[in-house]
């Protein structure tokens, strides 16, 4: 067991050195471990990062750095020491696709189990997620992370009973029942169909049985809470409340004070993907992962409809940005479908920087009088903030999904 523990610990050594480089330890502070499956750049990850920073008890002005990294912790004095000693453990943390706070030393982030698959030939995603979370539980056991004051488990309820052994208080943050995210198909006869049905029965049963096995159950919206109540009528709720995803308003205000509209446009125009985009025309901004459940075609249909019914009116462009992972087939399928849909609309000019290599075209607008639709993947925090500052509004397309997870 010691040998395995040493092997597990070695995965996070580099993170330890980088995250503790300029910050001393505080043994007397209560300890909190946040368990999260994939620490990327989505809304759920944004929540984790802001929550972790807040729990550390840092002064909001001294430790917050804007997207350009100009503001440093040391500029405004010492931080408060009345918060938690927080660490985040995860199975995925791509240092090239993450929030700055997870790599610049403000947060301690440890990656374990990157070798574990997300799916098996595109199937059994829930099962693989469970295995990866069980690996993190094993990490907690063999690396001596026992008796934490608080453990916060994000999204995967199945490991709640195990995590409760390692902490005084266990908090589970519920986003949406996995049962409802699964695409259901009509039952068909045969061994594999029966096996799939049994698999879903087991996974759904585990989710219902373990969601309430915590000391505090948090929901990201009242809509989510009501959805859990309808989906799992037999679920016995522990103490629970709604905790809306936080918004870094101070950071956004600081960015807008620091950079004018002209400065934002200049910084974006310096990027090749914005070469042909017309910033003199108002635009709406869509920010979501390229997934089917996000109903992204709605935004394209909306701007095409608006342009088609008011051709003489003021033009309105669309910037569609989102998280994209080449290892997830759904991302590629959704993105390709969106490109095809936009190109089918006679009112739209599609701007996709990779069009020259992928589609054999220049990617430049054919007619600047028509509505431009610009597609972007995995934009940086600086680009996101600039687009937020310049956009006429933010559009959110998922049906009945709460608005809180968008990275405002």
Examine the domain organization and report whether 231 and 354 are in the same domain: no
SS3 of the chain: helix, strand, coil, percent, to 5? 40, 15, 40
Examine the domain organization and report whether 226 and 312 are in the same domain: no
The pLDDT score that the predictor gives to residue 38 is 93
Q: 230-244: string of b/e by CB count within 10 Å (b at 16+)?
A: ebbeebeeeebeebe
In the three-class reduction of DSSP (H, G, I as helix; E, B as strand; rest coil), residue 172 is classed as strand
Give the CATH number of the domain where residue 76 resides: 3.40.50
| Number of independent structural domains in the chain | 2
58 pLDDT higher than 80 = no
Question: Which has the closest alpha carbon to 33: 221, 164, 128?
Answer: 164
Rounded to whole angstroms, the Cα distance separating 258 from 237 reads 46
Percentage of the chain surpassing pLDDT 90? 47
The pLDDT score that the predictor gives to residue 206 is 93
In the three-class reduction of DSSP (H, G, I as helix; E, B as strand; rest coil), residue 243 is classed as coil
62 pLDDT higher than 80 = no
Q: pLDDT-based confidence at 404, cuts 50/70/90?
A: low
The mean pLDDT of the chain is 81
Q: Do the domain assignments include residue 247? A: no
Q: How many H helices and E strands in the chain?
A: 14, 12
The pLDDT score that the predictor gives to residue 184 is 66
Q: What is the DSSP string of 314-371?
A: ---EEEEEE---TT-HHHHHHHHHHHHHHHH-TTEEEE-TTHHHHTSS----S-TTSE
pLDDT tens, residue by residue, 345-370:
888 889 986 654 444 444 555 555 67
Are the C-beta atoms of 323 and 45 separated by less than 8 Å?
Answer: no
The pLDDT score that the predictor gives to residue 25 is 53
373 or 244, which is more confident? 373
382 or 191, which is more confident? 382
179 pLDDT higher than 60 = yes
pLDDT tens, residue by residue, 156-170:
999 999 999 999 999
What's the mean pLDDT in 229-243?
92
Are the C-beta atoms of 96 and 325 separated by less than 8 Å?
Answer: no
* pTM listed for this prediction: 0.73
59 pLDDT higher than 80 = no
Examine the domain organization and report whether 209 and 263 are in the same domain: no
9 pLDDT higher than 60 = no
Examine the domain organization and report whether 282 and 214 are in the same domain: no
pLDDT tens, residue by residue, 299-347:
999 999 887 766 666 789 999 999 888 878 889 999 999 999 999 988 8
Q: Which of 242, 274, 302 is the last residue of a domain?
A: 242
The pLDDT score that the predictor gives to residue 90 is 97
In the three-class reduction of DSSP (H, G, I as helix; E, B as strand; rest coil), residue 89 is classed as strand
Q: Do the domain assignments include residue 408? A: no
Examine the domain organization and report whether 162 and 118 are in the same domain: yes
pLDDT tens, residue by residue, 120-144:
887 888 999 999 999 999 999 999 8
Rounded to whole angstroms, the Cα distance separating 353 from 375 reads 8
Q: What residues pair up with 304 in beta bridges, in sequence order?
A: none
101 or 23, which is more confident? 101
pLDDT tens, residue by residue, 385-400:
899 999 999 998 987 6
The pLDDT score that the predictor gives to residue 180 is 83
Q: Do the domain assignments include residue 353? A: yes
What token pair was written down for 94?
């791509």
Q: Beta strand 85-92 with 283-287: parallel, antiparallel or unpaired?
A: unpaired
The pLDDT score that the predictor gives to residue 77 is 41
What's the mean pLDDT in 65-91?
61
Q: Which of 188, 207, 242 is the last residue of a domain?
A: 242
Examine the domain organization and report whether 234 and 265 are in the same domain: no
HSE-CB at 75 with a 13 A cutoff on CA atoms is 11
71 pLDDT higher than 60 = no
69 pLDDT higher than 60 = no
What is the span of the domain harbouring residue 325?
A: 259-395
The pLDDT score that the predictor gives to residue 299 is 95
- 200, with CB counted inside 10 A (0-12, 13-18, 19+), is middle
Rounded to whole angstroms, the Cα distance separating 268 from 369 reads 21
What's the mean pLDDT in 101-123?
91
What token pair was written down for 292?
């089917």
Examine the domain organization and report whether 60 and 15 are in the same domain: yes
Q: pLDDT-based confidence at 181, cuts 50/70/90?
A: confident
In the three-class reduction of DSSP (H, G, I as helix; E, B as strand; rest coil), residue 180 is classed as helix
The pLDDT score that the predictor gives to residue 182 is 74
The pLDDT score that the predictor gives to residue 167 is 94
Q: pLDDT-based confidence at 188, cuts 50/70/90?
A: low
Examine the domain organization and report whether 171 and 63 are in the same domain: yes
The pLDDT score that the predictor gives to residue 244 is 85
pLDDT tens, residue by residue, 242-268:
988 887 777 778 887 888 899 999 999
Examine the domain organization and report whether 45 and 125 are in the same domain: yes
What's the mean pLDDT in 270-295?
92
Examine the domain organization and report whether 129 and 267 are in the same domain: no
Examine the domain organization and report whether 381 and 286 are in the same domain: yes
Q: Beta strand 167-174 with 283-287: parallel, antiparallel or unpaired?
A: unpaired
Examine the domain organization and report whether 236 and 352 are in the same domain: no
- The DSSP element (H or E) to which 150 belongs, if any, is strand 148-154
357 or 280, which is more confident? 280
Q: Do the domain assignments include residue 249? A: no
Give the CATH number of the domain where residue 316 resides: 3.40.50.2000
The pLDDT score that the predictor gives to residue 380 is 86
Pick from 20-34, 63-77, 177-191, 313-327 the range whose average pLDDT is largest. 313-327
Pick from 96-100, 218-222, 338-342 the range whose average pLDDT is largest. 338-342
């Amino acid at each position: 067991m010691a040998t395995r523990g040493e092997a597990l610990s070695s995965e996070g050594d580099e993170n330890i050195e980088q995250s503790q480089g300029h910050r001393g330890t505080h043994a007397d502070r209560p300890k909190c471990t946040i368990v999260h499956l994939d620490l990327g750049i989505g809304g759920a990850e944004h929540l984790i990062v802001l929550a972790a920073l807040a729990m550390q008890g840092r002064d909001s002005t001294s430790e917050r750095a804007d997207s350009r990294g100009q503001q440093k912790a040391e500029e405004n004095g010492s931080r408060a020491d009345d918060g938690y000693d927080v660490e985040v453990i995860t199975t995925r943390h791509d240092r090239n696709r993450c929030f700055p706070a997870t790599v610049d030393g403000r947060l301690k982030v440890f990656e374990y189990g990157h070798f574990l698959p997300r799916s098996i030939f595109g199937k059994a995603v829930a099962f693989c997620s469970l295995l990866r979370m069980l690996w993190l539980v094993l990490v907690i056991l063999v690396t001596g992370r026992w008796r934490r004051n608080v453990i916060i488990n994000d999204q995967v309820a199945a490991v709640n009973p195990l995590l409760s052994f390692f902490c005084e208080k266990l908090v589970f943050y519920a986003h949406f029942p996995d049962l409802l995210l699964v695409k259901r198909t009509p039952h068909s006869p045969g061994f594999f169909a029966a096996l799939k049905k049994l698999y879903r029965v087991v996974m759904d049963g585990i989710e219902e049985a373990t969601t309430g096995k915590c000391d505090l159950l948090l929901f990201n919206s009242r809509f989510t809470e009501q959805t859990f109540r309808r989906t799992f009528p037999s679920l016995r709720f522990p103490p629970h409340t709604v905790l809306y995803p936080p918004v870094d308003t101070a950071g956004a205000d600081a960015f807008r004070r620091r950079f004018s509209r002209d400065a934002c446009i200049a910084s974006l125009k310096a990027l090749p993907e914005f070469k042909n985009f017309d910033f003199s025309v108002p635009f709406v901004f869509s920010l979501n992962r390229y997934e089917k459940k996000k109903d992204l075609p709605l935004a394209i249909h909306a701007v095409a409809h608006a342009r088609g019914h008011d051709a003489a009116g003021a033009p309105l462009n669309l910037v569609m940005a989102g998280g994209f992972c080449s290892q997830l087939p759904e991302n590629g399928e959704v993105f390709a479908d969106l490109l095809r849909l936009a190109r089918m609309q006679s009112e739209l000019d599609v701007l996709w920087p990779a069009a020259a290599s992928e589609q054999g075209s220049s990617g430049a607008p054919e007619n600047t009088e028509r509505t431009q639709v610009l597609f972007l993947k995995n934009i940086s925090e600086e680009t996101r903030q600039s687009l937020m500052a310049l956009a006429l509004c933010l559009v959110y397309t998922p049906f009945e999904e709460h608005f809180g997870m968008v990275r405002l």
